[in-house]
Amino acid sequence: MDDAVPETPAVAEDDPAPEPGYDPASPAPLNVPRTPTGDADVDAALDRLGDADHLATDGHVEVYEDVHRGLRDALTALDARPGPPAPPSTHGQGS
């Protein structure tokens, strides 16, 4: 059995030092632009995506499911709204 400790690789002098306080595993904003749609419910759901920017990856699922639910509800509401009135029927009228 070999009890030798592996050497740590030498850092080249021209390698930049890591930024102080930088943690590659910490949450970082994606800064994806979100263009308003004009529909308040859809815009609110899309704005909720920004909450994922401050969460660790395992917290994204909850945000994405919430956004999906909000968008699905907005689409369902479109089906529930009354449409324009139907044109008057001309069937059965004599000429």
Q: What is the pLDDT along the chain (95 residues), one digit of tens a residue?
A: 556 655 655 555 566 665 667 666 677 777 778 889 999 989 999 899 888 888 888 889 999 999 999 999 999 988 887 767 778 877 766 55
* Rounded CA Rg of the chain: 28
Tell which residue, 18, 19, 22, 45, has the closest CA to residue 34.
Answer: 45
Whether this prediction's pTM lies above 0.85 is answered by no
